Structure 1
Amino acid sequence: MRKISFSMLALLAIIFSCSPEKPKLTDEQYSQLTDEEKRSADHAIDGIVVADDRLDLTLFASEPMMINPTNMDIDDKGRVWITEAYNYRSNLNPRNPTRSDGDRILIMTDTDGDGVADESKVFYQGEEINAALGIAVLGDKVYVSVSPYVYVFTDADGDDVPEKKEILFEGVGGVQHDHGMHSFTFGPDGKLYFNYGNEGKGIHHADGSPILDPLGRPVNSQTQPYREGMVFRMNPDGSDVEVLAWNFRNNYEVAVDSYGRMWQSDNDDDGNRSTRINYVMDYGNYGFKDEMTGADWRTRRINLEDSVYQQHWHLNDPGVVPNMLQTYAGSPTGILVYEGKLLPEEYQNQLIHSDAGPNIVRAYIPSQDGAGFSATIKNLMDGNSRDNWFRPSDVTVAPDGSLFVSDWYDPGVGGHAMGDQDKGRVYRLAPKGVDYKVEKPDYTSVPSLIKLLQNPNRATHFKAFMALVDKGDEAKGALEELFASADSRMKARAFWVLTKLPNGNEYIQMASTDSDPLIRVAAVRASRINQLNDPDFLLKMAGDEDIQVRREVALAIRYQNNEDVWLKLANTYQSGDRWFLEALGIAADGFWDEYLSAYLSDKQDSWMKTQEATDIIWRSRSTETPELLGKIILSQPGRNNERYYRALDFQEPNSKTKILKSLLATAPEEDQLIILRQINYDAASPDRELLALAKSTAGSIADNRDFLDIVRKYEIKDQKDRLKELVYQSENNQHSQMAANIYSSLYGMDDIKKEIDQGDEAHMIMAIEKFGSIDNEGMAKLLAGYYTDESKSTIIRTAAMEAAKGFNSEPYLWEMVKEDKVPADVLPIAQKILLSSWNGNLRAQANEFFGDAAKSDYDLPKMLAASGNVENGKTIASNYCLACHKIGAEGIDFGPGLTEIGDKLSKEGLFNAIINPSEGMGFGYETQLVKLKDGTEFTCIVNSKTENDLIVKLVGSSEQKIYKLADVESVTQQDQSLMPKFPLSETELVDLVSYLETLRK
């Protein structure tokens, strides 16, 4: 890289010294900076492109004042609070230095009004807050989220030194886990909202007792319907905790607007281009795992969607709320609803979101879509085209309406890894020429409080809300005046305070007749929170002309047996509005028998002629639903009935089986395959009718994957020729591997040996390559018979040696090497396999045995400065990466996808991920040691654990394997990644990284 000239530096220095504001470098000037210069705080602003030229980005704070900000809040004085993460995942990454005093909560202040923090004070420091992921400053309380705890610090005298530190919640996920507890935010209704990701598992009070739902069920991932990541609401004192939505993967923050509506982002299983933005509908299931079984999204199912994001979130399943927006690749972090007036109008009242993966801050513009929403994207800040170490971790609004963005600043993101411990930044985004000025708030007078209630800063809003409630009748007149104003959102803020005053329910009735449907939405939400006891209120609101108001009514009657209201709502449903259909389903939970019977009672058989009725039956969970689904399936032969077959999976299992068996006698022939795939079958105690049908059907199954599923499920042995044909086919390597494993289980190793030995040398080599993909000790022994047989040709022995890899095969190869039974001419291949083993212990032993042949003392600065051969890197990726990762349509779906890895990791991050794979294991891809009760042990990735099954992926395979939980003794997470440290030279590493950098969207 060419360095910037001395003369240019001198010229820039003169320009900077004469100008109050440093001019931003052009693309050409920036490209001439050294990497060290680019990483310096002096050029932090130069590394970020602001999409709107009306806005100005300034650096509020940076290292060494603060480092590694994971989360941020701004108090009503305009001071920036951050949680630092110097000790991030120090329990998993021993290479990282640690700060023995623990991580810090900092308060940074601009005391001289120049828009730059010049004072940094430690509010608290301690090991118990290492790598906290959430901070909310609300009054004299500071809520700090650091799994498995939520702490509340109290600073009653306002001296920035907490008098108390109390545990609010405990038992939330693993220690320091990114997918655990996230930050709290204040809602306009006086409640606090918060969430946790899918490592949260459950939530408990400080005394260890679980949070219970209205039916007395503990809120945890083992209690249906609750799964994975969840959203909650509570009173500021921690009482009345409610679970509001569930089944997210890593919903990082929740944002609440002035009407009480919730919004958040959710990360996908890394690398699967399915990151999403959700409108969070109360009590909604958001589909990360199978609602009934908890199975992973990759588990093959009837009516499986074509696109990955639809598969990923089970969007075709009844009972799953739609996504508002797909953002595809990303590592989403902080989110808010911007309700200020300082930024240009197109950003006002929109969602603003930071996504650390693609180095970007965006605005999302929602628009009504039936009872829900869709949205478009507008970029605000982009570091990807210049400085891809820009990792925005949070966005927050200051009291003046300007936007603050915290920057963790690192070569990588996610996977519990960290490449830089010394840097971190906080930026301010505001219209050009607008300085950062925060007036001292006055919480004593009602006029001032009314003004402060409208402030976009949550800390200010909170204190004004509480003070106005305390004022009571004294504030009523001013609040009523604001409630009568034309600004809908500020009108809503006044409304929520009025509902907390004496006779507050009168304002709910008043708002319910307002001409603004969003105020009527708030009225219905408030009626639920205030427990308005008016039997006619919801019935009246169920007739509202606005579908979004009716959606809120549906959500309001959950847990209530309110048949009249539900029927009134159901009769307004129009097919195609999935949001409203799901709202009806949420409302009917627990009352489906009564509701569905009443809904169909006056329709007689005409219900089958209306799409609305069949939609509601598809979504229903009544005891009569299976029979009704069966009637729908039989009524439309020749049409695609997979949607209704899939709906049977959400019914009582015995009823499902009964209906499927009855359909066998009358369903069209094309449906018989679906039934065979879907129906429960126990090979140990086979149903003769099903087995006979499977045997007679298998030969005519056109789809190869369907054929393999049926042959495996029913253990059909008379399809040997077709199975063998699939082993040898080259179009789909996944099907070839599946076929080889099924062939082995049905016919055994002796048969495979006979197959290899017949034919000429070319046939033997192909048979060894194809059947050699079977990863077990039996195949390892069979292959050893070929590579140790010196009477065989070199090419055959080489093929056998190259096939002798695999997690379960390599221990046998290792024993052969130690006993000096591997011939010298193929020993280098064995050495390469063992030094690249996914088994960390075996790899270490092989390193010692071969004299530490795997190079680990790489010259990283030299490699970073080098340019590699992209084509050679692609070849290396094909040889190493595709064995366990997908790149586009190629490779194995075992580890995280690499299709857009160049957008997620910087050059430094890519090198570190390859050289030190155990430092950055993505969540859900950690190494798990499974021990079975029969003594068998194996390592794998656990995709999911259902009520009865453990579903895993074995190394190098995209196929899932199912073990009965009754047979499992233990599952233990290991510190070592399943990804080996590949024995690559520095040149090969540079070439590989150069290729991976090109993998972008």
Structure 2
Amino acid sequence: MFKKFTILSLLGFLLFSCEKKPAQLSDEEYSKLTDEQKRTPEHALDGIIVADDRLELTLFASEPMMSNPTNMDIDDRGRVWIAEAYNYRTALNPRNPTRAEGDRILIMEDTDGDGVADESKVFYQGNDINAALGIAVFGDKVYVSVSPYVYVFTDADGDDVPEKKEILFEGVGGEQHDHGMHSFTFAPDGKLYFNYGNAGEGLHYADGSPILDPLSREVNNKTQPYKEGMVFRMNPDGSDVEVLGWNFRNNYEVATDSYGRMWQSDNDDDGNRSTRINYVMDYGNYGFKDEFTGADWRARRVNMEDSVYQQHWHLNDPGVVPNLLQTYAGSPTGILVYEGKLLPEEYQNQIIHSDAGPNIVRAYPVVPSGAGFDAKIINLLDGNSRDNWFRPSDVTVAPDGSLFISDWYDPGVGGHAMGDLDKGRVYRLAPKDVDYTVTKPDYSSVPSLINLLQSPNRATHFKAFMALVEKGEEAKDALEKLYTEGESRMRARAFWVLTKLPNGNDYIKTAATDTDENIRMAAIRAYRNNKMSDVSFLLEMAGDESAQVRREVALALRYKSNPEVWLKLVDSYESGDRWYLEALGIAAEGFWDDYLPKYLEASGSGWMESQDAKDIVWRSRASNTAELLGKIILSQPGRENQAFYRALDFQAPSSKNETLKALLANAPEEDQLIILRQINFDPASPDREILALAKQTAGSIADDRDFLDIVSKYGLTDQKDRLEKLVYQSDNNQHSQMAANSYASLYGMNAIKNTFADSDQAKAISSIEKFGAIDNEDMAKLLSEVYTDESKSMETRTAAMEAAKGYNSEPYLWELAKADEIPAEMLPIAQKILLSSWNGTIRAEANDKFGEDTPKSTIDLPKLLTQQGDVAKGLLISDNYCLSCHKIGEKGIDFGPGLSEIGDKLSKEGLFNAIINPSEGIGFGYETQLVKLKDGTEFTCIVNSKTENDLVVKLVATAEQKIYKLVDVESVTQLDESLMPKFPLSETELVDLVSYLETLRK
């Protein structure tokens, strides 16, 4: 509902703010504060280190004026707008209270000029905007992103009370989800840019009709090539929506510079230290999932990258745009390009970004490199070493050029968890002794509008842009003067307005000859925006000396057949410039059968001697590309062929298989394993030639993992001895488990049962320990036959009882326990398993039966927060509990999120809560999924990916991916409960464990 605004009482905060700002506490002084003192607004500035001593951080607003800001904007009057999220992910945080009236959009203002907000208005409040992730103020319109909708509020009379609320987009998906629709931003080309993360499912207009691309394909996560997170742009009225990039994980915001270039951050799967910054090249695939199959980044593949970071984004695959920068562990949030003059020169015209995970705000100075860019990191603000509740959620530039930072302020971030509901801050960063002053903007005169067009504040820039376009010819001379005499980026801003005038195309042609390559790039972008069709223009620009300009020409060819321009562009390609190669691939999409033959003909019969030509073939998708890749492979035996084998995966399956079969007869012996791994094989109608080769090759495969893959893929039953050896003797626990599962699949449970009955007790126990790790009901029953058999030794029965744990085994164990069928001497072990069961229902029922208190009912968290535990003991507890599902460094199992830097991500309180209440902070992509197969089998797991034919999962406490055919899957249902159990730890053990986890930092 629409309400008149309210003014909130801020007496306590104002009394503090009016005092002279004291010097920041020293490390020693800060360490003496209690945790409660550290969390107060009075000490907010003491908890954040400003890396540049020329700059000063001030507190603009905090609780009780506001709380939990998810996103922020600043209007042309210098007022700060925030979207609050008090009612945040309520289903996943059931202990948290809710605000019945719904969440709020606040406007906060400094009316007395002291740099501190003293007035707050509620622009809108309602349950329809609960936990909105985006707010953007453009003139009399306010865009609010709250999945599955985007709302536009209109305040035509400027009284800060909206007259209407309209749906701009619907059907986005990602309701109450951090990976849903994010905020909108105004770009100097006059368009609005926005994005959503990989909880987004598609984009629909308010009437329910889908957004279509230029080929009339629906833009959603079920239509190739679109998948995962995406970037869009549109006209301010919602027309001419375009999808500009896809296959991100959680691209939180998109930032544009004055030349029209796009920049983003993107979050990795939690704990994999692969958060990234992207230059977003239009129409690019950014590699989170396999482009063709949608498979998870962990899926084994030919030419798999050497590092987790490169694997995570499929950076060795043709068709993936490179990353700009790796920022390691993080939960990235707001991003902008700072085009003001108030901050020191090294921050001007550079990316500035907030990351709530490591409690940091950074700048990323960027320099061109070929058709792409290089970047470095400069820290601006750091809360990690002092107050790791500092959770910067957004960065925004005010009209005076100062940088504002909103702070979610919470013990943790990510996984939809929320530990604090009442706190939240907004800071201002500016040079020392520079007060916050905002002059009332004048939009009536052309000279004033020219000045306002150059504002670093996007709300001001928007209004000036629109006013100048409306003035048209009246503003032309002044705009031309700025274009001729201004600084490069301000010249670009004038240029964009000039392109909107009646003779705008003439300015585009003029800009195409400019001495500044950035202006020439903008000219090509404007050519696209104005829907020009002069082919001679692109042909001329294709010969530009700048690779940056030629990149833009290539992107302008998307959806348009123009072999002459493409061939001219490809002629200047130099091997090693991956950005340029991908731009050429983007341009050729849909036209490879026309372009590639002409290119190879021009290259001559010796094209395979040219690395440039081989790169082009590697990237191509022509109908004869697979055949050409085969020729390259045969011409150059060796390791470098793996890239060309991998490229076959992006060709038509029939062509790929034909080429691989042809290679079998001629490829060197060392390539046969690659071919066997890569070629499509159907066990139901096996190709006898390929099966024979698999049998012939398997025994000589040196790598155990490769051996297991081939045995499993081809169902080879003649490798029993080596499988047994791997089960019993492998130093790699993952390989041992894989071998045990393959053994059971190939030879059946009876073969394993016989090993359990070995007359040699030591061998029987070893078999139970190794094969008992198979987590299914059949194994649970087999183990029960051992531990209930009183004729067997106590040692043997104990081993079987201890092996009876596992998510899919414990239901059978619980049924025996309920029926009192577990022998008394085995019951203590069974109780321990059931009381720490992976299954919450079993755990709760076991507590009722065995009379144990749950940890939650006895834990005094405030008391625990004051205690320091034994780190060495915490390490041992971690080894016993955490490593069964998490990796810490090189140790552990890659099932749940990595913990190697968890001390940087979560505060002490956040760590306690993650252990005590694991279901309140489940990382996206790690949710519990209940899979039902058509044969009646049920199991819980993590779903890594769903391809056209396969469901790829990780079963509980295993790192190995298991593939099920979709035709065999009845249903997949997401459950609210985490797969992580509530471990039966004492308070002392909890404190020790948290003290150890706090030490896990970068």
Is 1:835 the equivalent of 2:860? no
* Structure 2 CA distance for partners of 1:759 and 1:703, relative to 1, 3 Å: farther
Task: State the alpha-carbon separation in 2 of the partners of residues 823 and 369 from structure 1.
Answer: 71
Is 1:225 the equivalent of 2:225? yes
Tell me the equivalent position of 1:409.
Answer: 409
Q: Per-residue CA shift, 1:186-235, capped at 9, x if unaligned?
A: 00000000000000011110111110000000001110010100000000
Q: Match for 2:84: what amino acid?
A: E
Tell me the equivalent position of 2:72.
Answer: 72
TM-superposed deviation, 1:17: 11
Is 1:864 the equivalent of 2:865? yes
Task: State the alpha-carbon separation in 1 of the partners of residues 273 and 765 from structure 2.
Answer: 38
TM-superposed deviation, 1:876: 1.2
Q: Which moved more, 1:842-851 or 1:431-440?
A: 842-851
Task: State the alpha-carbon separation in 2 of the partners of residues 426 and 435 from structure 1.
Answer: 16
Task: State the alpha-carbon separation in 2 of the partners of residues 462 and 209 from structure 1.
Answer: 29
Q: Which structure 2 residues correspond to residues 31-110 of structure 1 after superposition, within 5 A?
A: 31-110=31-110
Task: State the alpha-carbon separation in 2 of the partners of residues 559 and 136 from structure 1.
Answer: 31
Tell me the equivalent position of 2:190.
Answer: 190
Tell me the equivalent position of 1:506.
Answer: 506
Q: Which structure 2 residues correspond to residues 528-677 of structure 1 after superposition, within 5 A?
A: 528-677=528-677
Give the aligned CA root-mean-square deviation in angstroms: 1.3
TM-score, normalisation: structure 1: 0.98
Maintained 8 Å contact 1:918/1:976 = yes
TM-superposed deviation, 1:730: 4.4
Maintained 8 Å contact 2:69/2:84 = yes
Tell me the equivalent position of 1:887.
Answer: 888
Tell me the equivalent position of 1:4.
Answer: none
* Structure 2 CA distance for partners of 1:20 and 1:258, relative to 1, 3 Å: same
Tell me the equivalent position of 1:768.
Answer: 768
Task: State the alpha-carbon separation in 1 of the partners of residues 694 and 589 from structure 2.
Answer: 37
TM-superposed deviation, 1:839: 1.5
Tell me the equivalent position of 2:339.
Answer: 339
TM-superposed deviation, 1:641: 1.0
Tell me the equivalent position of 2:929.
Answer: 928
Tell me the equivalent position of 2:322.
Answer: 322
Q: Per-residue CA shift, 1:657-693, capped at 9, x if unaligned?
A: 0110011011100001000000001112111111111
Task: State the alpha-carbon separation in 2 of the partners of residues 100 and 791 from structure 1.
Answer: 64
Task: State the alpha-carbon separation in 1 of the partners of residues 990 and 742 from structure 2.
Answer: 37
What SS does the corresponding residue of 1:914 show, helix, strand or coil? helix
Task: State the alpha-carbon separation in 2 of the partners of residues 999 and 721 from structure 1.
Answer: 42
Tell me the equivalent position of 2:263.
Answer: 263
Q: Which moved more, 1:366-375 or 1:960-969?
A: 960-969
Tell me the equivalent position of 1:847.
Answer: 847
TM-superposed deviation, 1:962: 1.4
TM-superposed deviation, 1:794: 2.8
Q: Match for 1:739: what amino acid?
A: A
Task: State the alpha-carbon separation in 2 of the partners of residues 486 and 143 from structure 1.
Answer: 32
Q: Per-residue CA shift, 1:64-97, capped at 9, x if unaligned?
A: 0000000000000000000000000013322110
Is 1:431 the equivalent of 2:435? no
Maintained 8 Å contact 2:808/2:940 = no
Tell me the equivalent position of 2:237.
Answer: 237
Tell me the equivalent position of 1:10.
Answer: none
Maintained 8 Å contact 2:17/2:116 = no
Maintained 8 Å contact 1:16/1:22 = no
TM-superposed deviation, 1:482: 0.3
Task: State the alpha-carbon separation in 1 of the partners of residues 305 and 472 from structure 2.
Answer: 54
Task: State the alpha-carbon separation in 2 of the partners of residues 485 and 389 from structure 1.
Answer: 47
Task: State the alpha-carbon separation in 2 of the partners of residues 349 and 801 from structure 1.
Answer: 65
TM-superposed deviation, 1:534: 1.6
Task: State the alpha-carbon separation in 1 of the partners of residues 993 and 825 from structure 2.
Answer: 28
Maintained 8 Å contact 1:853/1:983 = no
Task: State the alpha-carbon separation in 2 of the partners of residues 447 and 525 from structure 1.
Answer: 27
TM-superposed deviation, 1:828: 1.6
TM-superposed deviation, 1:850: 1.4
What SS does the corresponding residue of 1:605 show, helix, strand or coil? coil
Maintained 8 Å contact 1:913/1:920 = yes
Q: Per-residue CA shift, 1:716-740, capped at 9, x if unaligned?
A: 1111111111112342111111001
Tell me the equivalent position of 1:807.
Answer: 807
Maintained 8 Å contact 1:339/1:349 = yes
Maintained 8 Å contact 2:839/2:981 = yes
Maintained 8 Å contact 2:204/2:210 = yes
Q: Match for 2:305: what amino acid?
A: E
Task: State the alpha-carbon separation in 1 of the partners of residues 336 and 597 from structure 2.
Answer: 43
* Structure 2 CA distance for partners of 1:639 and 1:933, relative to 1, 3 Å: closer
Task: State the alpha-carbon separation in 1 of the partners of residues 507 and 640 from structure 2.
Answer: 50
TM-superposed deviation, 1:825: 2.5
TM-superposed deviation, 1:753: 2.3
Q: Match for 1:616: what amino acid?
A: I
What SS does the corresponding residue of 1:686 show, helix, strand or coil? coil
Q: Match for 1:947: what amino acid?
A: E
Task: State the alpha-carbon separation in 1 of the partners of residues 298 and 520 from structure 2.
Answer: 41
Task: State the alpha-carbon separation in 2 of the partners of residues 353 and 835 from structure 1.
Answer: 45
TM-superposed deviation, 1:16: 9.5
Tell me the equivalent position of 2:7.
Answer: none
Q: Give 4+ residue runs of structure 1 displaced > 4 Å after superposition.
A: 15-19
TM-superposed deviation, 1:949: 1.3
Q: Match for 1:409: what amino acid?
A: Y
Task: State the alpha-carbon separation in 2 of the partners of residues 879 and 848 from structure 1.
Answer: 25
Task: State the alpha-carbon separation in 1 of the partners of residues 980 and 104 from structure 2.
Answer: 33
TM-superposed deviation, 1:795: 2.6
Q: Match for 1:238: what amino acid?
A: G
Task: State the alpha-carbon separation in 1 of the partners of residues 17 and 871 from structure 2.
Answer: 43
Task: State the alpha-carbon separation in 2 of the partners of residues 878 and 146 from structure 1.
Answer: 41
TM-superposed deviation, 1:181: 0.2
Q: Which moved more, 1:56-65 or 1:21-30?
A: 21-30
Q: Match for 1:357: what amino acid?
A: G
Q: Which runs of 5+ in 1 are unaligned?
A: 1-14
Task: State the alpha-carbon separation in 2 of the partners of residues 475 and 554 from structure 1.
Answer: 33
Maintained 8 Å contact 2:412/2:910 = yes
Maintained 8 Å contact 1:885/1:895 = yes
TM-superposed deviation, 1:19: 6.8
Task: Give the total of aligned pairs.
Answer: 987
Task: State the alpha-carbon separation in 1 of the partners of residues 760 and 702 from structure 2.
Answer: 31
* Structure 2 CA distance for partners of 1:18 and 1:452, relative to 1, 3 Å: closer
Tell me the equivalent position of 1:290.
Answer: 290
Maintained 8 Å contact 1:854/1:982 = no
Maintained 8 Å contact 2:412/2:907 = yes
Task: State the alpha-carbon separation in 1 of the partners of residues 294 and 735 from structure 2.
Answer: 25
Is 1:949 the equivalent of 2:930? no
Tell me the equivalent position of 2:691.
Answer: 691
TM-superposed deviation, 1:18: 11
TM-superposed deviation, 1:525: 0.5
Maintained 8 Å contact 1:854/1:984 = no
TM-superposed deviation, 1:964: 1.7
Q: Per-residue CA shift, 1:386-410, capped at 9, x if unaligned?
A: 0000000000000000000000000
Tell me the equivalent position of 1:170.
Answer: 170
Identity of paired residues, percent? 79
Q: Which structure 2 residues correspond to residues 781-820 of structure 1 after superposition, within 5 A?
A: 781-820=781-820
Is 1:701 the equivalent of 2:701? yes
Maintained 8 Å contact 1:324/1:375 = yes
Task: State the alpha-carbon separation in 1 of the partners of residues 326 and 18 from structure 2.
Answer: 46
Maintained 8 Å contact 1:16/1:23 = no
Q: Which structure 2 residues correspond to residues 367-406 of structure 1 after superposition, within 5 A?
A: 367-406=367-406
Task: State the alpha-carbon separation in 2 of the partners of residues 868 and 689 from structure 1.
Answer: 63
Q: Match for 2:132: what amino acid?
A: A
Tell me the equivalent position of 1:449.
Answer: 449
Tell me the equivalent position of 2:918.
Answer: 917
Task: State the alpha-carbon separation in 2 of the partners of residues 17 and 837 from structure 1.
Answer: 51
Q: Which moved more, 1:967-976 or 1:126-135?
A: 967-976
Task: State the alpha-carbon separation in 2 of the partners of residues 39 and 760 from structure 1.
Answer: 63
TM-superposed deviation, 1:584: 0.2
Task: State the alpha-carbon separation in 1 of the partners of residues 592 and 174 from structure 2.
Answer: 37
Q: Which runs of 5+ in 2 are unaligned?
A: 1-14
